[in-house]
């Protein structure tokens, strides 16, 4: 009988160990399932939020489409017309003038009772005779509207547009305008 009790004790101990192993395995499995479900819920919420954001953005773009187009036309036409006037001034005095860049310069200044005053820096390159490029600088110094020549350089260089006179000037012209400037 003593052997029977020993065997029963060992069997009970083994069953207890197996039962505890099952409990540990079950709790680990439940924890992993909770992580998987949490990740899938979070992923679904993130996709829903992204879809809602995209929908709001498309709606906003549709609502402001005409306003954005009008603003774009206004700002481009003003800057383009200024650039065309600069190049026409060069042609009128016999100098090949080209606007290489128009860069928004500085922050807009608020004007009481009016639109903000923006400044644009135009980089103008001109080529021709020495007297022609000097005259181009003089013309741009007296350019209509609020403007000023900030910097200019003269150099004797190879022809860039087939001109026979090898004088070149680079001018930085700042123009102040009330047109909206897109950065």
| Residue at 130 is within a domain | yes
Number of Cβ within a 10 Å radius of residue 140: 24
**Mean pLDDT across the chain:** 83
What does the block give as tokens for 176? 């102040």
Are 18 and 97 in the same domain? no
How many domains, the chain? 2
Whole-number pLDDT of residue 108: 76
Range with lowest mean pLDDT among 55-59, 92-96, 119-123, 133-137: 55-59
Give the end of a domain, one of 29, 63, 97. 63
Higher pLDDT, 176 or 130: 130
- The CA distance from 117 to 106, in Å, is 10
Residue 75: its pLDDT value, please? 42
Asked if residue 76 and residue 59 are part of one domain, the reply reads no
Tell me: the pLDDT tens digits for 74-103? 444 578 888 888 999 999 998 999 999 988
Domain check: are 21 and 83 in the same one? no
Instruction: Give the per-residue pLDDT at 98.
Output: 94
pLDDT per position as a tens digit, 48-61? 999 888 888 888 77
Q: For residue 5, name the pLDDT band (cuts at 50, 70, 90).
A: confident
Give pLDDT, residue 17: 94
| Domain CATH number, residue 102 | 3.30.70.60
75 and 155 fall within a common domain: yes
Q: pLDDT tens digits, residue range 9-44?
A: 899 999 999 999 999 999 999 999 999 999 999 999
**Would you say residue 183 lies in a domain?**
no
Q: Domain boundary residue among 63, 88, 109?
A: 63
Of the three residues 38, 63, 88, the one that is the final residue of a domain is 63
146 and 94 in a common domain? yes
| Distance between CA atoms of residues 159 and 156, nearest Å | 9
d(CA 78, CA 176): 11
Q: Specify whether the CB–CB gap between 152 and 134 falls below 8 A.
A: no
Q: Which residues pair with 174 in a beta bridge?
A: 121, 148
Q: Residue range 147-175: average pLDDT?
A: 81
The reply to whether 113 and 143 lie within a common domain is: yes
pLDDT in tens, 10-19: 999 999 999 9
Are residues 115 and 164 located together in one domain of the fold?
A: yes
What domain range includes position 153?
67-177
Contact by Cβ (8 Å): 118, 110: no
- The beta-strand segments (E) located in the chain are 96-104, 118-128, 146-156, 167-177
Contacts of 161 (CB under 8 A, 6+ apart): 96, 98, 127
DSSP per-residue letters across 90-124: HHHTT-EEEEEEEEE-SPPBP-TTSPPBEEEEEEE
Residue 154's SS3 state is strand
43 and 14 part of one domain: yes
């Amino acid at each position: 009988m003593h052997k029977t009790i020993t065997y029963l004790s060992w069997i009970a101990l083994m069953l207890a160990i197996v039962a505890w192993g099952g409990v540990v395995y079950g709790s680990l499995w439940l924890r992993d399932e909770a992580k998987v479900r949490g990740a899938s819920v979070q992923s679904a919420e993130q996709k829903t939020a992204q879809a809602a954001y995209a929908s709001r953005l498309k709606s906003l773009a549709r609502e402001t489409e005409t306003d954005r187009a009008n603003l774009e036309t206004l700002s481009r036409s003003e800057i383009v017309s200024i650039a065309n006037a600069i190049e026409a001034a060069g042609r009128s005095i016999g100098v090949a003038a080209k606007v290489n860049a128009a860069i928004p310069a500085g922050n807009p200044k608020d004007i009481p009772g009016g639109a903000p005053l923006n400044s644009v820096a135009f980089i103008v390159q001109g080529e021709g005779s020495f007297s022609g490029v000097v005259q181009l600088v003089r013309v741009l110094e007296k350019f209509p509207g609020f403007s000023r020549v900030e910097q200019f350089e003269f150099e004797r260089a190879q022809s860039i547009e087939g001109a026979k006179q090898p004088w070149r000037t680079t001018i930085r012209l700042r123009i102040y305008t009330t047109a909206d400037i897109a950065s």
